[in-house]
């Protein structure tokens, strides 16, 4: 089985999981395709484009610390992390935004952490074997995560994993894992990770702004295609201009809130029968077999001693 065929098989399996649609939620103003086309020019510099009033955001110091929180990997480490590690990246940046400090002092330390975060598909490394493994292997044992393909025959799952297909954990899994990881300390003790999903973007945005106003981290899940899910960080918003400030790969981005909504939307946009809309919804329906996925999904990162919203 070739990698191309494996990807096509995963896609058609997701199409088969599509539910019968009776009542469609309101579609966002912009389609996924339009949102993807409009985000390329949004990289900004803090000193030039954030000097105006009206921004509710983290301080420049927190933005700088967070943008440098993920150490640059070596080529070998990059090969291990490429294609799926946006979740650990976003978690690391969010913790730096909330605490004001960098968690990892070397790329080896960061790689050890990232490889312990479960994947949705592909090989991952289990933290419970840290003491038994060599430091040069990052301290983790290589095992397969079968949960994602629980309802798919084992031979299919083995073929997909064997060809190196990698996907990160769904947001509910990621939040659950990070809560367990924070309990052991490692610079995250005292933090909690709360998954929040909804079918109403206005409700989501109210929660996002409330958490940002309290200085808490926000990790949204955006989707630009069927197998192109991505975690990044919301670092601020401007009610005056209708824009949102994001951190991604150490870059500072500025999108309109409408573009963010278009890329976060996991539902089926009946107004636009475009490939990316249909494919992304098909894959999210497949993921819903085993983990909660709503139309809009975020992870909140906050201190346990701060009274947050209850969902």
Residue-level pLDDT at 32: 74
CA distance 116 to 73: 16
Top pLDDT among 73 and 289 is at 73
- Among 13-22, 110-119, 293-302, which is the least confidently predicted range? 13-22
Q: By percentage, how much of the chain surpasses pLDDT 90?
A: 29
Task: Report the 10 Å Cβ neighbour count for 191.
Answer: 21
Q: Is the pLDDT of residue 229 over 90?
A: no
Q: In degrees to the nearest 10, what's the CA dihedral of 262, 86, 234, 57? A: -150
CB-based contacts of 135, cutoff 8 Å, min separation 6: 108
Q: Is the pLDDT of residue 167 over 60?
A: yes
281 burial (CB, 10 Å; 0-12 / 13-18 / 19+) is buried
Q: By percentage, how much of the chain surpasses pLDDT 70?
A: 65
Q: Do the Cβ atoms of 188 and 149 come closer than 8 Å? A: no
Domain parsing of the chain, residue ranges: 3-17+28-303
Top pLDDT among 138 and 50 is at 50
CA distance 311 to 309: 6
pTM of the full predicted structure? 0.80
Which whole number is the average pLDDT over 248-257? Answer: 88
Strands (DSSP E) contained in the chain are 56-57, 119-121, 123-126, 141-144, 167-168, 191-198, 217-225, 228-231, 233-238, 243-248, 251-256, 296-303
Instruction: Collapse the DSSP code of 140 into the 3-class scheme (helix H, G, I; strand E, B; otherwise coil) and give the result.
Output: coil
Q: Do the Cβ atoms of 270 and 38 come closer than 8 Å? A: no
71: tokens are: 């150490």
Q: Is the pLDDT of residue 139 over 50?
A: no
Tens digits of residue pLDDT in 260-310 = 998 898 877 655 556 666 777 777 777 777 778 888 999 999 998 754 444
Rg of the chain, C-alpha, whole Å:
19
| Residue recorded with tokens 């990881």 | 181
Average pLDDT, the chain: 75
Tens digits of residue pLDDT in 18-44 = 554 445 566 787 777 777 776 655 666
CA distance 160 to 154: 10
Residue-level pLDDT at 100: 93
The 3-state secondary structure of 87-104 reads HHHHHHHHHHHHHCCCCC
152: tokens are: 């798919």
Tens digits of residue pLDDT in 93-102 = 999 999 999 9
Q: How many residues does the chain have?
A: 311
């Amino acid at each position: 089985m070739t990698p191309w065929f494996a990807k096509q098989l995963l896609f058609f399996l997701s199409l088969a999981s599509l539910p019968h649609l009776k009542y469609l939620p309101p579609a966002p103003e912009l389609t996924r395709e339009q949102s993807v086309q409009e985000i390329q020019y949004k990289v900004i510099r803090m000193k030039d484009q954030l000097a105006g009033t009206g921004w509710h955001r983290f301080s420049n110091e927190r933005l700088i610390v967070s943008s440098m929180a993920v150490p640059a990997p070596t080529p070998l480490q990059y090969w291990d992390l490429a294609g799926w590690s946006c979740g650990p990246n976003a978690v690391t940046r969010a913790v730096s935004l909330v605490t004001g400090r960098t968690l990892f002092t070397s790329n080896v330390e960061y790689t050890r952490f990232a490889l312990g975060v479960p994947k949705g598909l592909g090989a991952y490394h289990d933290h419970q074997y840290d003491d038994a493994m060599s430091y040069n292997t990052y301290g983790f044992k290589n095992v397969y995560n079968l949960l994602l393909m629980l309802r798919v025959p084992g031979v299919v799952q083995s073929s997909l994993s064997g060809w190196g297909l990698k996907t990160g954990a769904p947001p509910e899994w990621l939040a659950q894992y990070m809560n367990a990881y924070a309990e052991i300390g490692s610079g995250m003790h005292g933090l909690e990770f709360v998954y929040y999903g909804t079918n109403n973007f206005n409700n989501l945005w109210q929660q996002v702004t409330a958490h940002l106003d309290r200085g808490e981290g926000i990790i949204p899940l955006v989707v630009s295609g069927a197998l192109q899910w991505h975690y990044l960080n919301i670092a601020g918003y401007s009610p005056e201009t209708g824009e949102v400030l994001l951190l991604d790969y150490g870059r500072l981005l500025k999108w309109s809130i409408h573009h963010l909504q278009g890329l976060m939307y996991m539902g089926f946009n009946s107004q636009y029968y475009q490939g990316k809309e249909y494919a992304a919804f098909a894959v999210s329906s497949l993921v819903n077999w085993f983990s909660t996925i709503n139309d809009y999904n975020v992870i909140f990162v906050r201190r346990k001693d701060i009274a947050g919203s209850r969902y």
